[in-house]
Amino acid sequence: MSIRPFEQHTPRIHPTAYVDDLALVIGDVEIGEDSSIWPMSVVRGDIHRIRIGARTSIQDGTVIHVTHDSRFCPGGQPTLIGNDVTVGHKVILHACTVEDFCLIGMGAIVMDKAIVRSRVTIGAGSVVPPGKVLESGFLYVGSPIKQVRPLNECELEFLEYSPQNYRRLQKRHQAMRNLP
């Protein structure tokens, strides 16, 4: 795995987290307990901070970045990802907030200062524009994204199942890494 400091910041990765050998984590990044960063993902906290909570899965090819402090964005903007979040393959999360128990579909883009409230599903390929706030408990799809309907009971249960499933898979990968 490639874990790199940037200037005075070194990534802080919980001992139970899994970072694949082909992932890249740079700078002011914290990765929580039992979270996973899968192959070809880039988590680049060079110009602001990135926080990834517990039991969160960042799947293959995802890019997570931030916005720097400037007159266009005073103070800059971090990327904050909560607990029990499933981030699908090839997602871009840029200077945004994703709260707990969310599913971000494959290829989705969540842009600067957008807020994804807890228990939201974002459909594959959707684009969340800058500053958009997604209300808890709904399915959102499209480019630009639109609220489609409330999540049903099965979909809400899946938001809890998915991070547990990836945690089990992560443990299997960690076990393989520890073989002689």
Domains held by the chain: number:
1
Confidence of residue 45 (pLDDT cuts 50, 70, 90): very high
C-alpha closest to that of 20 among 6, 32, 2, 33: 2
Share of the chain above pLDDT 90, in %: 95
CATH of the domain at 153: 2.160.10.10
pLDDT exceeds cutoff 90 at 91: yes
pTM, whole model, 2 decimals?
0.96
Mean pLDDT value across residues 144-172? 97
Q: Confirm whether 105 is domain-assigned.
A: yes
180 found inside a domain: no
Average pLDDT estimate for 4-31: 97
Residue 14's domain spans which residues?
2-175
With respect to residue 36, please indicate whether it lies within any of the assigned structural domains. yes
- The verdict on residue 104 lying in a domain is yes
- Residue 62 included in any domain: yes
pLDDT of 145 above 90: yes
Classify residue 85: in a domain, yes or no: yes
**In angstroms, what CA-CA distances link 99 with 8, 89, 92, 107, 179?**
28, 18, 16, 19, 35
